[in-house]
Every structure is written in C-alpha cells, then in structure tokens.
Amino acid sequence: AQSVTQLDSQVPVFEEAPVELRCNYSSSVSVYLFWYVQYPNQGLQLLLKYLSGSTLVKGINGFEAEFNKSQTSFHLRKPSVHISDTAEYFCAVSEAAGNKLTFGGGTRVLVKP
Amino acid sequence: SAVISQKPSRDICQRGTSLTIQCQVDSQVTMMFWYRQQPGQSLTLIATANQGSEATYESGFVIDKFPISRPNLTFSTLTVSNMSPEDSSIYLCSVAATLYNEQFFGPGTRLTVL
C-alpha cells in the first residue's frame, strides 16, 4: 500500500520570499509522483510530475520539485512567491502513470503582502 | 489535455434523498475515477469507473451507497444514495490520459446535505 505525508498543513510566507513544501511517501514499488494545486473554489491543476529520468522536475508557474529516492521525498519549491500562489497544494503518488492516485493531506499556502 | 465537465456544480439536498452527479469528457479515455474531498480535507478515491463492467471500490466505500455507471468511454455518473450530513463534500471526477501520463480533474460538485 502507498501513503503520502505532507509534513506541513499550513505555510505562511511573505510575497517574494521562497517557499518549500515537504512531501514524503512510502511504497513497496516504484512510484510516479505529482504535485497538484487547488485554488479557492476551483478544481485541481497539475503543477508538475515525476515519471522517470532527471530527479529535478520543473513545472508551471515557476515551481520545481526534486525526487529523492533514498529519502523517499518529493519536495516542492518556488524561489519567489506571489500573492496569486495562495492555494492548497497536494502531493500524490501512483504506481503507474494514469493509475489511481493516493493524496497527501495537503498544505495550505498563504502568501502575505 | 482532456476537458472535463461535471453536473451539477453544486447542490443542497435533504437527508435521505439521492443525488446523481454526471461527468463528461471531451475525448475517449480508458480510466475514470471518482474522488471525495470532505471539508478541509484531502482527496480520497471512492472508486474506479470501468467501462462495461462494475466499478472497483476502495476500502470503506460500497456500491449500495455510491453506485457508479459508465456506459461509454466519455461519460460516467456517481450517485450518492440515502444522503446524510456526513456526505457533504466536494465530489471530483478525474480521467487518466495515457498519452500525457497524468490525471485531469473536473471542476467538482459541491454537495451540502441538510
């Protein structure tokens, strides 16, 4: 069985400051990793995904994430946040691309001016 | 990418009644899923909607409570039966696009049960 832990339920951050959202997973098989963003009262949008290859993955809106197999982590980073980045961020894993997803508990990012 | 629509977008229902949520995709897809997002919580998979056969339910979810239909490769419905206030959630449909190796999500249906 797979599980995903997002260590921070809320992350307040000032505008133009960097942010890191932590995600750790457990699985008995190789996994595919995803970060989704949910803006208030909206559906989920994919930020980035790791399927294979380079462990540093770049996504939309200036986000990037690094896959670390030895630490079973997939932390999300952005060097400079904007007010518009205020949202809920979900880390998710699946055993195969296109297969069902297991989500972490989510991290609520609040960007302050 | 796949464009997904859900109907209704929101509803307020009385306890004991049932609501059917529709999910329509603009292209044929193999895999369709239904998730529940309870207030302030993460997403939990309810079931995988299989075309031409019964849905595959996750632990804690049963067909009598959440019957699912999938008559073709672009459409699915989820019914929330005999509703109680605990069923108040956002219900999301998603599809897996093999070409893109990712899942796309619909906008969700926000259900409130009084």
Average pLDDT, chain A: 93
Looking at residues A17-31, what average pLDDT do you find? Answer: 91
> Which residue did the predictor score with more confidence, A100 or B47?
B47
Q: Do A43 and B97 touch (CB under 8 A)?
A: no
Percentage of chain A lying above the pLDDT 70 cut: 99
> Residue ranges of chain B with pLDDT lower than 70?
98-100
A7 touches chain B (CB under 8 A): no
Contacting A with CB below 8 Å, chain B residues are 30-31, 33, 41-45, 48, 92, 94, 96-98, 101-108
Nearest CA-CA partner of B85 in B114, B55, B51, B54:
B114
CA distance B27 to chain A (A): 15
B103 close to B94: Cβ distance less than 8 angstroms: yes
> Which residue did the predictor score with more confidence, B18 or A55?
B18
CB-CB neighbors (< 8 A) of B33 in chain A: 100-101
Q: Do A100 and B97 touch (CB under 8 A)?
A: no
HSE, side-chain direction, 13 A CA sphere, residue A86: 12
CA distance B9 to chain A (A): 11
Please tell me the predicted confidence (pLDDT) of residue B1: 75
Percentage of chain A lying above the pLDDT 90 cut: 80
User: Exposed, middle or buried, B109 (CB in 10 Å: 0-12/13-18/19+)?
Assistant: buried
Please tell me the predicted confidence (pLDDT) of residue B88: 97
Please tell me the predicted confidence (pLDDT) of residue B100: 67
Please tell me the predicted confidence (pLDDT) of residue B30: 83
Q: In sequence order, what are the residues at sequence separation of 6 or more whose Cβ sits closer than 8 angstroms to the Cβ of residue B60?
A: none
> Which residue did the predictor score with more confidence, B99 or A36?
A36
What distance in Å separates the CA atoms of residue A6 and residue A9, rounded to the nearest whole number?
Answer: 7
Q: pLDDT-based confidence at A27, cuts 50/70/90?
A: confident
What distance in Å separates the CA atoms of residue A63 and residue A32, rounded to the nearest whole number?
Answer: 18
Q: pLDDT-based confidence at A98, cuts 50/70/90?
A: confident
Looking at residues A53-75, what average pLDDT do you find? Answer: 94
A44 touches chain B (CB under 8 A): yes
